Amino acid sequence: MKLNSNYLNKIKTRLSCIYILFLAITIIALSLSCNLTGNGEPVENETTETGGTEAGEEIQEESISDITEIDIWDSADPKIQIALIDSIEKFLPMNPGLKINSRHFRSEEELLDQFEAASLAGSGPEVLISRLEFSNRLARSKTIKQITEEFDYPNILSGLKEISIFNGVNYAIPFRAFNFLMLYYNKDLVTEVPVDFNELLIYCEQISQYDDGTYGFLLNVKEPDWIIPLVGGYQDWIYDYPTGAISLKSEAMKKTLEFLDKIYSQENILPYDVEYEEINNAFKAGNVHMIINGNWAVDEYRDAGINFGVARIPIVLGGYKNPTPMLDGTGFMININCYGEEFIASKELISYLMSDEIQANWTDGTLTLPVIKGIEQLKQIKDASIWQAAAQQAEICRGKPPDEFLRVIRDAIRINLENVIEGNITIEEAVTKMQEDAINLKSGGVSVEELLKEVPES
């Protein structure tokens, strides 16, 4: 069969149209596939945004990489906290590229618990400011670094050094000293400060008028913290720092009790039944010429308008050494996880805070002392004579034993001294029983209430 030419032309025309239509559809499809993503958004726009974001991230990462960031945690009182923030604000402009985050905790226990948990998990702050006593706890949990010669500061107060060591290794850098006793005297009433207790007792006999409430000197004998320094004056101590052993049965404790028995029981030179607030108020009223109180009282006596001075507690009766009050302090501890740039930055911050200028500037505002001997001589310290004398006392102080030991030592001294003054037991019996009571209290074998019921018959 022959196909006519007209029919063939029609077929060719239709095929050409179909081909052209197919080609057009293909071109459109290819165009769309190049310009759309799977979700129908323009590929060109997404690439621009992503590229822009990546470029921004690179710039941001570069700027962040130039910044070293460290954290510092504390639970300090408001005065110290303010001084710390002020010092950090002065330090940062001198160290561009450093960021310091500070976090304050309401209690020491909360601070230590959170620090330990964070450090054991591999994080936490680079620097911790805490009481030196707690370096032992953190050293046991292996959450702080050993302090090496990189942080070697000469002439640190010996009383603070001895409570910064655990198993013979130093784990803290002492920073501020506080909570120690010293002699306060009224300058309008006392022309020459007694050098020893012999001179002091003679002064009391000349001045004291029990009838009108005038006393040359009063001692807060009801609180063991005022008695313990005498043991140091008689050349022994209540606690062995390396071993954690309690030491109350000693010749020094015997001499301490003999001295107290003499002035309160045998010769009645001083009244026994007076406590802290009564003594403190009498001094502010000018009724007592001299007392022993803590460095914390400086502001109180300033505010009371007293013309006062401070000095070392006089040399013990029959001895040749000054009493050695207990000394507390705070220090820097470094997280076991602190390395590299963060460690270097932490070291620089600590070095700045340990500088003479900062140590001196903190003194009057925080009622704490520099830990480095001699800094109290700097001119920028207000009431320099007060703090110079306080520093002389701090130099011979002993480190405050851990709370768990000090509690039982206090209870044992308090109970047995009371029995000595009342004539219930001899001094020899008292020193033996003090040691036994402290050890039993520490082990939980007896309670304070049970010991109070064991009062021997006169």
Q: Is the pLDDT of residue 29 over 70?
A: no
CA distances from 11 to 4, 21, 98, 262 (A): 11, 15, 83, 138
| pLDDT value for 59 | 38
Read off the pLDDT band of 16 (50, 70, 90): low
Read off the pLDDT band of 43 (50, 70, 90): very low
> When comparing pLDDT for 38 and 418, which is higher?
418
| pLDDT value for 3 | 39
Q: Is the pLDDT of residue 204 over 80?
A: yes
Read off the pLDDT band of 399 (50, 70, 90): very high
| pLDDT value for 40 | 40
Read off the pLDDT band of 349 (50, 70, 90): very high
| pLDDT value for 25 | 54
Query: Are the beta carbons of 337 and 412 closer than 8 angstroms?
Result: no
Read off the pLDDT band of 17 (50, 70, 90): low
Query: First and final CA of the chain: distance in angstroms?
Result: 151
Q: Is the pLDDT of residue 44 over 90?
A: no
> When comparing pLDDT for 76 and 374, which is higher?
76
**Which residues partner with 156 through β-bridges?**
372
Q: What angle do CA 298, 300, 306 make, to 5 degrees?
A: 80
Cβ partners under 8 Å of residue 230, min gap 6: 255, 256, 259, 260, 316, 323
Q: Give mean pLDDT, residues 122-136.
A: 97
Side-chain-facing half-sphere of 6: CA atoms under 13 Å:
0
| pLDDT value for 36 | 37
143-193 pLDDT per residue, tens: 999 998 888 888 899 999 999 999 999 999 999 999 999 999 999 999 999
CA distances from 39 to 28, 34, 52, 454 (A): 18, 13, 20, 88
Q: Is the pLDDT of residue 341 over 50?
A: yes
